[in-house]
Amino acid sequence: MVTGRTMMTPFILCALISAISALVSLGFSIAAQRTATGAARTMALYACARSLALFVASVVPFLSGSVGWLLAVAWSMIIVQALDAIVGMTIKDKVKTFGPATTALLNLAAVIWLLQST
């Protein structure tokens, strides 16, 4: 649980970055499932289901104040965004490389700040 004023800012910042990251991932997966057809649509629907689960999980720290839950969600989103950056590099798309990479690094910095505050 979040206790003390010194913990509030790192917790809220980490929770916000994680939730925004999860929401952006959900948005991209929804857009993909709306435009894809056939097997690609099926894969997009699976991605959408997982993205929705991560977004719901990212809301829990705001309701519970659980640092442990937040760390689990934040690390999950760091991994997701880092892998998305690798996909972006693979398809040679700078926006899809640097956007997720920046998000992953911001979230990592927020996790480090949160851990130093506990």
Q: What is the pLDDT of residue 102?
A: 97
Q: What is the pLDDT of residue 118?
A: 82
Residue pair 50/90 in contact by the 8 Å Cβ criterion: no
Please tell me the distance from the alpha carbon of residue 63 to that of residue 56, in angstroms, as a whole number.
Answer: 11
- CB proximity list for 88: less than 8 A, separation 6 or greater: 94, 95, 96, 97, 98, 99, 100, 101
Mind listing the pLDDT tens digit for each residue in 2-33? Answer: 655 656 999 999 999 999 999 999 999 999 99
Q: What is the pLDDT of residue 81?
A: 97
Q: What is the pLDDT of residue 26?
A: 96
pTM of the model: 0.90
